[in-house]
Amino acid sequence: MGNSKEEISLKSELSILKNILKEKGYPEKCFLEEKKIKFSYKKLDFEISIPLIIRNNSNTLLIVDYKPQENLSISERGIIALARVLFSPPPYFALITNFRDFVLINVYTQEKERGGKDIIPEFIKLKNYKTEITKSFNPEIEKKILAIYLSGG
């Protein structure tokens, strides 16, 4: 009874993600791995697995998602909706990577920074981060966007 290739791959990806974050000063105790969250919208039910969540005390600072596809931009708006709908308060940032490219997204302002792993904020900077005042977002619209994203649309 061995692990499936998908399970082995996910463990490998998590290990790589954690090592990248440790290089930026993130302590092991702040990692929450493979968090499963249920989400329903109208008659649609989803179980979402978030590869890595970075927490400091009770604050969610960053969610990290690995996407093997080449074009990460198709996941950007969906991860913003996910962060806004499933977390209260939302994390400051969401990070999407395929390990070649990284996209750091401010969940509050939707500003995006693209580049290598150097765009990931140091843990000290992130744990002391204060959100900027932004316009509020409509939870119903965010739920609809999340449902479309999770449906593959």
How does pLDDT run across 65-118, given as a tens digit for each residue?
Answer: 998 888 888 889 999 999 999 998 999 999 999 999 999 999 999 999 999 999
Exposure on the CB side of residue 77, measured as CA atoms within 13 A = 12
> What confidence score (pLDDT) does residue 106 get?
94
Distance CA 21, CA 24 (A): 5
pLDDT of residue 56: 94
pLDDT of amino acid 10: 62
CB atoms within 10 A of CB 11: 13
Q: What global pTM score does this model have?
A: 0.87
Question: What rounded mean pLDDT belongs to the chain?
Answer: 89
pLDDT of residue 4: 39
* Distance of alpha carbon 12 from alpha carbon 143, whole angstroms: 31
The predicted pLDDT at position 130 comes to: 84
Give the model confidence (pLDDT) of 50-67 as tens digits: 999 999 988 999 999 998
